[in-house]
Structure 1
């Protein structure tokens, strides 16, 4: 549980004195080893606000890789954890601007305003509204969106009480309660079924955990919209539920990759793409598709697009003689059994030292297996373990290469 901010702390942090104090606090290490001394020094100068300064600096440091402009923003610890990564939010904003030119967009659970910052960017969005019941977080959002004052309107409002006629509604129900993380859709805050019911008939984007059971959502709650699984730089970030996208595929995987120049490259796979691919013997390479593709159940569509095939129709590993651009491929060195004895023999024969273990379809703990195998050579290799039919099989590969 992070530091609990109140109105006084946020008012101080937004003032000139607060900005100077934060600049001073940023010069401290604020590590486990230095914290007592750092806390004492900051208390001597800024009591009783030393806790707010330390928490803000630590939150900014945690947010730097996730959010653009994090060094000038105000956060709570929970807000940093749930905030949508800037690249993901910017991509969503671009989608909305292209689909609804001139749209007014209302984020009904805006929290500290991280998504509002990105939504106010595209020229195709004419106005941004943010609302929340948490006045402290809303005050932080006012600070974070200060540069967007002409385009952003902020207000205190319940997400389940419509307060605007915005063209598009965005919601991000909290996935944590006082007892910790929650997993049931009706235990989110606000509950997901109630959000969908409140804004029925309007275009809505609801951000959810990437582990969302969207099949159950359709079967139990009657959701008929689109499920978009989004990844960023190899990590699956969210499942976004879209309504008002009639005529579009019911599932979509959106893969975002950050380029060396800071730009974002995008590709998508949808449920409407062709999916007729064979299963067969292993080719020169094994490819583990991006997690967004796997979670969206679009492995076959991805394989068809790139001329790959499956090792087994029920397993997400793909194989082929080339590796798609931007993906990581594992060149197969030898096909092996899965017993410890067979694996040790193969590892020794190939002088294996460091060993990466990837598993699908088998009940194997990679860390425990690696400790049992104890590779002692000098060559880095990857072991891909999977099931083909009912048989476990291993593929010893060269260390993965991204193309």
Structure 2
């Protein structure tokens, strides 16, 4: 979205038209919708802009629920926005610490600021991009305890500010077709600035889940969060926002439930054992937090191989931190023999997982030429250092 498109959308007539549209879905007949809107006298550029917002609202429902139907978005802003459920947890930290105001530096389209404002914190939302700042202003308009400033976060005056939240832009500038930045010095604002602020004020910093752990300051509480099986972020908490004695946390949100593993530091790996009756795949948050050893001991399970994030046990244990698989057999790793064995078993639907082996699951699946009505999971990994193909079924 550029400024011209923004100007089209943010008129009362355009917003009324947007709200009048039926909910966008994959089955929406775009050609017919465009023809109907044009026949009603709407200009082509307005129709295009409104339909884009309708599509983005539908896409945003996964992150914002029913709130998405009254918000505006850009492609890049939606992609980078915090899920509302996670943003509520962020805001809860500030409330629990007794903090009453926060400067949200790099507020994007306003997802975290929404959660802060909903808990009655005074919010100073700061955004460098003009279009994104305007959209944040629209999304935050229902709240009287929020101000939105079009400013460079790194130059914002923090005098009198009680706490800070930063979600540095980790993609190139623009509102669509952006690319991921790999060097933290290129973030906006730069990571050095964020960590500098954290030395003086209670601060939360949202980062990507694959952020280099070697760059995490020793004084930070690092929390990895997964939502419905998808690893979504790594948040760093400083000062009063960090919990005493905790530097590593894995938070799993699934459906309406949540579970968390915490530790004072990385856990020592569990002992390696032979493949048992069950195979366990730890949640991505546990893997990134390096709490696999603690998890294994809590499940009375063992590692399959050193530095491989699979666990095994003869006992079936239910845990929100793992996906469980019942081991059916071990198969040859030679592709021709593997293909023959899967055909013999009539396996036509195969989920392929891998750790510690260099394969492309999609390419392997094509080469296996599967046929049959049965389904299974194939785990290509190492067991006690040996390349192994494990045939299993999800529990």
- Does the pair score TM above 0.5? yes
TM-score (normalizing by structure 1): 0.86
CA shift for structure 1 position 85: 0.9
Alpha-carbon distance in 2 for matches of 1:29, 1:368: 31
User: Unmatched 5+ residue regions in structure 1?
Assistant: none
Q: 1:13 and 1:276, CA in 2 relative to 1: closer, same or farther beyond 3 A?
A: closer
CA contact (8 A) 2:269 2:292 kept: no
- The equivalent residue for 2:76 is 78
Structure 2 gaps of 5+ residues are: none
The answer to whether the 8 A contact 2:347-2:376 is kept is yes
* 1:163 alignment partner in structure 2: 157
CA-CA distance at 1:31 after TM superposition? 7.7
Equivalent residue pairs, number: 383
1:59 aligns with 2:59: no
- Cα deviation 1:120-172 (Å, max 9, x = unaligned): 233xx5322212123332222222122222x3232233211243433321111
Show the counterpart of 1:323: 317
RMSD: 2.6
Contact 1:119 1:128 in 2 (8 A): yes
Show the counterpart of 2:92. Answer: 94
Q: 1:121 aligns with which of 118, 121, 144?
A: 118
* Deviation >6 Å, runs of 4+: 27-33
Structure 2 residue aligned with 1:197 = 196
Q: Pairwise mapping of residues 223-242 of structure 1 onto structure 2 (< 5 A)?
A: 224-242=219-237
In the TM superposition, residue 73 of structure 1 has moved relative to its aligned partner by: 0.1
**Alpha-carbon contact 1:311-1:318 (below 8 Å) kept:** yes
Paired with 2:142 and 2:58, the residues of 1 have a C-alpha distance of: 21
Pairwise mapping of residues 2-401 of structure 1 onto structure 2 (< 5 A)? 3-6=1-4, 10=6, 13-26=9-22, 34-35=30-31, 38-39=33-34, 41-43=36-38, 45-47=41-43, 48-68=45-65, 69-98=67-96, 100-122=97-119, 126-149=121-144, 151-164=145-158, 165-178=160-173, 180-215=179-214, 217-218=215-216, 224-244=219-239, 245=242, 247-258=244-255, 263-272=256-265, 275=268, 277-320=270-313, 321-326=315-320, 327-398=322-393, 400-401=394-395
Structure 1 contact 170–205 (Cα < 8 Å) conserved: yes
Distance (Å, rounded) in 2 between the aligned partners of 1:39 and 1:25: 11
Distance 1:29 1:396 in 2: 38
Question: Displacement of 1:293 after TM fit?
Answer: 1.0
Distance in 2, matches of 1:315 and 1:206, equals 29
